[in-house]
Amino acid sequence: MRPPIRGGRAGIVGLLTALAFATGMLENLLPSLPLPGVRLGFANIFVVTALYLLGARAALLVVLCRVLLTLLFTGNVFAFLCSLGGGLIAVGSMATLRCIDAFSIAGVSAGGAFAFNIGQFSVVALLVGDIRPLLVYLPVLLAAGAATGLAVGLLAARLLSRLKEANCVF
């Protein structure tokens, strides 16, 4: 039997943040999908894991630290604003959906991805000043987000299951 993971909440948040940041940076190295603005979002596996292990505040902290680290390493202010706006709304939405028993982890994650795209779209609309040209693309973003969010949720559920099997306690 393996010993439980120790290090307290801050250590676990730091670990999940590091994993989310590294995964996001690796994903940035992959060729972009055929649709602009659509990413797999696998870094969010660790946000969903934080939500279920430690709660909404920890998930929010993982998002905030990850987007700040990404800004520091890339210098891309536009991407930072989009990620921040989307991430804040996504965590709030996932925390709310988690309270509803009808949603699985994958469902909560898909809802968070949907909310992320709404938040990201809102930031872009504010920065551009006119949302009319963007409205055509919104359904594509929402559908892709829901699909990738579902995949992220399934992977996060598997990670949480494996942590439980390994007798990791936090």
pLDDT of residue 14: 95
Mean pLDDT of the chain: 89
Please state the φ and ψ torsions of residue 29, each to the nearest 5 degrees.
Answer: -80, -20
Greater pLDDT, 66 or 139:
66
pLDDT in tens, 52-69: 999 999 999 999 999 999
Percent of the chain with pLDDT over 70: 91
**pTM value?**
0.89
Please count the CA atoms within 13 angstroms of the CA of 92 that sit on its side-chain side.
Answer: 10
CA distances (Å), origin 135, targets 120, 121, 126, 130, 157: 13, 9, 13, 10, 33
Domains along the sequence of the chain with CATH: 8-165 (1.10.1760.20)
